[in-house]
Amino acid sequence: MESFLQHESAPRTADEARQRIESLLDEVADLTDLPLSPNEFYGQLLDRLTLAATAIGAAVWTKGPRGHLLLAHQTDLAQIYPNGLAASAISDDEAHLLAIYHRGEVDVVAGSVVAAVKYEMIAVPLKVAGEGFGVLVLYQGANLAKSVSLTCSRIAQAFGEIAQHYQQQTLLRDFQLHQSDWKRQLGFAGLVHSDLSFDKTTYRIANEARNCLDADRVSVLSLRGNHCRLDAVSGVDKPNQRSNMVRKLEQLASAVVGSRQALVYSGDTENLPPQVETALLEYLEETPSKVIAIVPLEMPTETNSDEDDSQAKAADPIGALVIESIEQLDAPELLRRAEPIVEHAATALGNAQTYRQIPLASVLRPIGNWLAMVGWYRLSTTMKVAAVLLVVMVALFLIPTDFSIEVHGQLVPTVERNLFAPSDGYVKDIFVKHGEHVEQGKSLIQLQSNDFRLQRTEIIGKLQTAQAELDAILVQRSLGVRRDSRSDSRLPTSRENLSADQLKLTKQIENLTQQRDLLQKREDELQLTSPIDGQVLDWEVDEILAGRPVSRGELLMKVADVDGPWVLELELPDKRTYHVVTAQEAAKEPLPVRFQLVNEPGKTYQGQLTSTAEIVDLDEDSDQPFVPLVAQFDKAEIPHLRHGLSVVARIECGRRSVAYVWSYQLVETIRRYLFW
């Protein structure tokens, strides 16, 4: 045919041109009755169409599995789609031709602006049995005369009618030759939709698709983010995810799915996007396949029945189907046969992915089967809601759960002593610091009292005066007993008075001496010593107490035995006392206590309730009554103990129904405000 075209002379008159066109049409029409492959037939048709219209080139774009147009057959398009610009130009032309395909009318549109030359496309939509299957495109130079463009359009329409006749004849032959394919496709649909398990679905898609398409290998990949992951390969129980072939196939499928267009490779890598071409060449190094078809799998969106197919938007891709053959096959024919396979595979894979994302699907499915068996789905909506509520209410009252009361408290050492001011005064000296370990009897604070000093001075003065008077009386009495001339003149009453004064002063001196000793004892008590071996707990004692005036009974310092046992002091709200006391009376052993440190949430420690106070105290901050509790715990479990470390604890009070545990606080509140 090429030699015929090369030696054919150009027509000299319009009649010769008309005759040649009719001759070319007759030749192509005769080819429609022959069992030619699409490549052979469309190659002959496009060559004659190009010659008849004296065009730059011609092509047939066919409908892909997902509504896209694929450049399936072409002739003399090297200058229109040169290397480097082909992918972008083909993408632009595909968008224009897709609009004409959906309109179903012959039209002339300008070619892509990124191509090497300027051209126009005369597009003829192709239909069989009222359904489009492609577009016949005649490429002409830009700015053609209107009459020439009209003539070329008529020629393209004539060749398009022959192409449609060929497609109709091909379909008739396909109806006769591919009945077994339809049966296998129906079987494929039944098998892939028979189960919602993701692993089973992908395995069946891969193996059944290979049988339907007579391919050597079919792979199923699911899209996870922007990366495709191989889930199943025909003839393989579980693919090796670490192999180079699997890794490169996943990269190739990711690139194809990202482009949203199917990839058909049969030996030619031209006209492919750079990222797809690079990934394809790397994968070809690992596989002997001569034909590779990768079709993105997309869940179809729901559309109204009165909407046109052109208004339906494809959903996001969910994966890809890879078809490989070692033998050279007709790639467009392979895609045509794979179209129903791809549709069912996409739907089955999407349903399996949705089912896999349902929480506890493996548990809910048997429950659903049991509900169907007992006739649940035959009940009305009201009966269903009532039955569910009844079951829930009964379960809440019958199912027991742990019942605990939340309390707050702090960690303190068991042995703790407070130092109080014995008298009014001021702090003179401080001998310890915060956190210092002290021994019993060690001096901690030296107080001083000015009142004591004044009293001491006054008592000493009185004592000295009384002692001087007593000494004078003793001297007088000693002088009165001498025998001299004047002794007879002394009256007896004077001697008696001296004895009384001596007795009075002696008693006064004894009292003053006792007062002095008692005052000395009280002054000695102003030096505070540690009552136990322990650690000083007060913070910044120097800054807080130095030179500070104090009153009698005022707390000055705390000393605790931090190396000894520790306890957990809890404050139980008085309104919750009933639950703890009742549980304690019913239990034969101390109630367990679970608590968490405020500075260490998430870690739980264990303890036991050891004592419950018989009084009710009042919280100074909130003025809420509470009952003091004491619980023991193993201090070795807590690495960093601090005095007064706050905790949130729960006292285990046995087991109650779920309804009681969830609602006891609400019930108590309602009873308090409504029935009191």
Residue 262 sits in the same domain as residue 287: yes
Burial (CB count within 10 angstroms: exposed 0-12, middle 13-18, buried 19+), residue 439: exposed
CA separation (Å) from 184 to 64, 118, 190, 347? Answer: 21, 48, 10, 18
DSSP structure class, residue 236: B
- Amino acid making up residue 481: V
Asked if residue 402 belongs to a domain, the reply is no
Residue 374 sits in the same domain as residue 444: no
Q: Whose CA is closest to 62, among 119, 131, 115, 159?
A: 131
CA separation (Å) from 466 to 20, 453, 480? Answer: 162, 20, 21
- Quote the number of domains for the chain: 5
Residue 339 sits in the same domain as residue 422: no
- Residue 9's pLDDT is what? 53
Asked if residue 410 belongs to a domain, the reply is no
Residue 430 sits in the same domain as residue 482: yes
Asked if residue 306 belongs to a domain, the reply is no
Asked if residue 403 belongs to a domain, the reply is no
| pLDDT < 70: residue spans in the chain | 1-12, 84, 116, 176-180, 300-315, 480-496, 675-676
Helix locations, 285-418, DSSP H = 331-356, 361-373, 381-398
Question: What's the CATH number where 450 sits?
Answer: 1.10.287.380
Asked if residue 234 belongs to a domain, the reply is yes
Which of 177, 209, 237 terminates a domain? The answer is: 177
- Residue 248's pLDDT is what? 92
Phi and psi (nearest 5°) for 462? -65, -40
Asked if residue 375 belongs to a domain, the reply is yes
Asked if residue 80 belongs to a domain, the reply is yes
Question: What's the CATH number where 215 sits?
Answer: 3.30.450.40
Asked if residue 308 belongs to a domain, the reply is no
Residue 119 sits in the same domain as residue 238: no
Residue 367 sits in the same domain as residue 225: no
Residue 41 sits in the same domain as residue 141: yes
Residue 522 sits in the same domain as residue 624: no
Residue 575 sits in the same domain as residue 659: yes
pLDDT of 376-405, one tens digit each?
778 888 888 898 899 899 998 899 989 999
- Residue 489's pLDDT is what? 47
pLDDT of 208-258, one tens digit each?
988 888 888 999 999 988 899 999 999 888 888 888 999 999 999 999 998
- Residue 5's pLDDT is what? 42
Residues 199, 159 contacting (CB under 8 angstroms): no
- Residue 259's pLDDT is what? 85
Residue 44 sits in the same domain as residue 109: yes
Q: How far apart are CA 321 and CA 204, in angstroms?
A: 13
Residue 480 sits in the same domain as residue 390: no
- Amino acid making up residue 597: L
- Residue 7's pLDDT is what? 38
- Give the range of the structural domain holding residue 578, as residue numbers without chain letter: 565-674
Residue 662 sits in the same domain as residue 535: no
pLDDT of 134-148, one tens digit each?
999 988 888 888 888
Which of 524, 558, 592 terminates a domain? The answer is: 558
Whole-structure pTM value: 0.45
Which of 140, 158, 177 terminates a domain? The answer is: 177
- Residue 217's pLDDT is what? 92
